Amino acid sequence: MKWKIVIHEEDKYIEVTTSGIADGDGSLNMAKAISQTMRAHRINKALIDHRYVDGVAGSTMDVYHRPKVFRLIGAILRIKIAEIIKPEHEEHFKFFERVCLNQGYHLAVFQDKDEALAWLLA
């Protein structure tokens, strides 16, 4: 999976645009980059746009354990994440959303960028 990070200093959030296949290793590497960027810029909000992802890979157990892995790489619970997805990936990302919420992360999944950004900046 590839990603590009843009920092929006004025509104204090980062925007990440992903492409390729979203898999466990790619997601972990992206999460490390996001965590480091947020920490370096003292930002606690992220908009992650997965609409250019070609597919998602990973078992249910991989998705279930991902928030625990995030803690190990230094992702803190005070962050707020809005993810934008394609309709065909809704089942995968809605499960991820539920798991993250149950682990204490403030994360929501959207299909519309304007809605995602409004929620993130509220």
Length of the chain: 122
Residues 47, 84 contacting (CB under 8 angstroms): yes
Quickly tell me which residue has 């803190």 as its tokens. 76
> What domains can you pick out in the chain, each with its CATH number?
2-121 (3.30.750.24)
What is d(CA 56, CA 51) in angstroms, rounded to the nearest whole number? 11
pLDDT of the chain, 122 residues: tens digit per residue: 999 999 999 999 999 999 999 887 888 889 889 989 998 999 999 999 999 999 998 777 887 877 776 665 556 667 899 999 999 999 999 999 999 899 888 999 999 999 999 999 99
- Cα separation of 101 and 12, whole Å? 22
- Strand 80-84 with 45-56, pairing: parallel
pLDDT value at residue 93: 93
Tokens of 66: 């991902």
- Helical H runs in 1-122? 24-41, 60-72, 90-102, 113-121
Q: Residue 5 is encoded by which pair of tokens?
A: 């990070």
Q: Which pLDDT belongs to residue 115?
A: 98
| Residue 17: predicted pLDDT | 98
